[in-house]
Amino acid sequence: MITKNDYLKIYYSQLLDLIPVGDAVAFREIYDRYSDLLYIFTYRKLKNESEAQDVVHDVFAWLWENAKQMLFSKKLLSIFFESFLMFPKRLLLLVILHRSNF
């Protein structure tokens, strides 16, 4: 059985593998690790605290809501998450889409 402390040691791609099977602790660990980074980048682009918080919420809500559909495609989920957190220009697209109320 995996304990909360074990989740702290797991690489993010392994955590992403746990999310499609409904592992809320793995999802929370991903959120705890990366939400601040996502917020900082988004805030720098939007210059609006509320909108930046909305983008962060939307990204993580999308991840949770769509992860189960990607059970058969865990690699795709990993690529999605990595592309937004490791390549900020792609996140900028999400910010622009959010501003246009996609």
Structure confidence at residue 49 (pLDDT): 93
- Measured between alpha carbons, how far is 84 from 93 in angstroms, rounded to an integer? 9
Structure confidence at residue 97 (pLDDT): 63
- Measured between alpha carbons, how far is 22 from 101 in angstroms, rounded to an integer? 28
Structure confidence at residue 51 (pLDDT): 85
Q: How many domains does the chain have?
A: 1
Query: What CATH number does the domain containing 68 carry?
Result: 1.10.1740
pTM of the model: 0.70
- Measured between alpha carbons, how far is 8 from 66 in angstroms, rounded to an integer? 23
Task: Give me the average pLDDT of each 10-residue run along the chain (102 residues).
Answer: 77 80 89 88 85 85 78 55 60 62 54
CA nearest neighbour of 60 among 15, 2, 9 = 15
Structure confidence at residue 101 (pLDDT): 59
Q: Residue 44 corresponds to which amino acid?
A: R
Number of other CB atoms surrounding residue 56 within 10 Å: 21
Q: Residue 83 is part of which domain span?
A: 4-99
